[in-house]
Amino acid sequence: QGEESSDKKVLKMATSADFPPFESHNEKGDIVGFDVDLANKIADKLGYQLEIQDMKFDGLVGALQSGRVDMVMSGMSTTEKRRKNVDFSKQYHRSGEMFIYKKDADIKKLEDLKGKTV
């Protein structure tokens, strides 16, 4: 994050990089994941350079409230309590992924795959 110097304005995002596939550290120690990709797109679109601050999940809302960062992306869901302190965007991810099986293979649960692999 931010190795290249540029004249671009900086968009500061806070995250807690302990929640793959949304945010985690790769082998090199970089923060990667779905939220990072999306945040980079947003920053690009606005003409800003993204800067990521990694912190404890419990500190994210406070970092935003005190103005240390511009936004939080951390796989965070909305709760009544959080909504009292910060504003939430529209939902950008909803999970509905599933395993799929061959038709007529009669697989009702994962264990049924045993003995039926190709």
Binding site for ligand ARG (CB under 6 A): 16, 18-19, 23, 57, 74-77
Are 63 and 15 within 8 A, CB to CB?
no
Q: Which is nearer to ligand ARG, 39 or 76 (CB)?
A: 76
Tell me the closest approach of the beta carbon of residue 88 to ligand ARG, in angstroms: 10
Question: Closest approach of Cβ 107 to ligand ARG, in Å?
Answer: 30
Q: Are 13 and 53 in contact (CB under 8 A)?
A: yes
Measured at the CA of 40, the angle between CA 36 and CA 44, to 5 degrees, comes to: 175
| Residue 51 bridge partners (DSSP) | 12
If the CB atoms of residues 49 and 74 are measured against ligand ARG, the closer one turns out to be 74
Tokens found for residue 5: 């110097």
36 or 43: CB nearest ligand ARG = 36
CB-wise, 18 or 70, nearer to ligand ARG? 18
Q: How far is the CB of 74 from ligand ARG (least distance, A)?
A: 4
Token representation of residue 28: 């090199």
List helix spans (H) across the chain: 34-46, 60-65, 80-85
Q: How far is the CB of 73 from ligand ARG (least distance, A)?
A: 9
The residue with its CB nearest to ligand ARG is: 19
